[in-house]
Amino acid sequence: MKILIIGGAGYIGTKLCNYLVSKNYKITCLDNFWFGDFLHKKVQKIKADIRYYNFNKLSKFDAVIDLAYLSNDPLCELDARHTWESGPLAVYKILDYCVKKKIKKFLFASSGSIYGLKKEKKVHEGLGLDPITDYNKSKMICEKVIQSYSDKIKYTIIRPATVCGFSDRLRLDVVLNLFCYQAYYKKKISITGGSQIRPLVHIDDMIRCYEFFIKKNIVGVFNLGFENKSISNIAKEVSRQINCKITYIKTNDPRSYRISSEKILKAGFQPKFNSIDAIKDIKYNFEKGFKPTKNNWNLAWLKANKKV
Ligand SMILES: NC(=O)c1ccc[n+]([C@@H]2O[C@H](COP(=O)([O-])OP(=O)(O)OC[C@H]3O[C@@H](n4cnc5c(N)ncnc54)[C@H](O)[C@@H]3O)[C@@H](O)[C@H]2O)c1
């Protein structure tokens, strides 16, 4: 099976591409390789910026996965134009190409933060969207563009929680991974507030979920996150695995996000990993000699290299 993974050189994409080639899928990664190249040599690579790329040059694939994005709130704030061009406008171009080439399946990484702040305890896919930031708003419009193609292509939109765990292209600007870095290298985790809830998903379950949807003929929108944990509980769990102090800074921003993933569980997907596995895996890789560099922090790296 031939799969095109757009944004496949990032934190999630690197692990996804390398996992799928290990399972004998034929993988092509199209990415501008902002954060380097940690892909297996069997992955075919196209270095390009999706804002300007002519997708019609590509041949046919069995499925297309789109992960390319300025992938959190502060990154999108760096460059709103880039956000909208590599988000909804690029999604439109990619879908047009998919329809022309009769590609059977399109999978998109949206975000669990698209719901905004909700009073409901179970934030499920049936609730309305109240996106707050450019990141969330542009993801919502991407979803609308994709849904407008529902008569032409089978699509799956995944709304992941904050992803955690090790990848050869590690991101240290996401909560649990950042705490592991602070605990291991600084011997201290600094948290602002602490009672805010954050939903989490292990990176290996995110990867497994893509394979699940590639194999199954299921269309629709699915949350993906199986633990809703407070920031202070995430920090405490990290400190149990990696001995360190925790310091608290007061905040007036007690915003909590949570998601419910009952729909994907009902569809037959079962998670295999949790946040403790993610901490142990990152610790193991630090002990084995993985050395974080500046490119593990997306924002600082893109600013320093004047990429956006
Ligand atoms: N990591 C998370 O916690 C998380 C949570 C929810 C949703 N997501 C979504 O999952 C996707 C992947 O996230 P990630 O953590 O791997 O992010 P990442 O920043 O590590 O990877 C994004 C990749 O897209 C590429 N890219 C960005 N703009 C591009 C452009 N214009 N042209 C070509 N390539 C471009 C980057 O070079 C990078 O390799 C994103 O869409 C993100 O919004 C991530």
pLDDT tens track, the chain, 308 positions:
999 999 999 999 999 999 999 999 999 999 999 999 999 999 999 999 999 999 999 999 999 999 999 988 888 888 899 999 999 999 999 999 999 999 999 999 999 999 998 989 899 999 999 999 999 999 999 999 999 999 999 999 999 999 999 999 999 999 999 999 999 999 999 999 999 999 999 999 999 999 999 999 899 999 999 999 999 999 999 999 999 999 999 887 767 889 999 999 999 999 999 999 999 999 999 999 999 988 898 888 888 777 77
Q: Does residue 280 fall inside a structural domain?
A: no
Cβ(116) to ligand 1 under 6 A?
no
Q: Does residue 61 fall inside a structural domain?
A: yes
Q: What is the CATH number of the domain that holds 105?
A: 3.40.50.720
CA of 68 to the centre of ligand 1 (A): 5
Distance CA 111, CA 133 (A): 12
Burial of 186 (0-12, 13-18, 19+ CB in 10 A): exposed
Cβ(34) to ligand 1 under 6 A?
yes
Range of the domain at 145: 2-171+200-228+256-275
Distance CA 153, CA 86 (A): 21
Q: Does residue 56 fall inside a structural domain?
A: yes
**What is the pTM (predicted TM-score) of this model?**
0.96
Phi, psi of 145 (to 5 degrees): -60, -45
Q: Does residue 267 fall inside a structural domain?
A: yes
Burial of 153 (0-12, 13-18, 19+ CB in 10 A): middle
Q: Does residue 151 fall inside a structural domain?
A: yes
CA of 109 to the centre of ligand 1 (A): 9
Cβ(171) to ligand 1 under 6 A?
yes
Which helix or strand (DSSP H or E) is residue 229 part of?
A: strand 227-230
Cβ(87) to ligand 1 under 6 A?
no
Burial of 31 (0-12, 13-18, 19+ CB in 10 A): buried
* Domain count for the chain: 1
Q: Does residue 297 fall inside a structural domain?
A: no
Q: Does residue 243 fall inside a structural domain?
A: no
Q: Does residue 15 fall inside a structural domain?
A: yes
Helix pair angle (134-147, 90-100), 10° resolution: 20
Cβ(174) to ligand 1 under 6 A?
yes
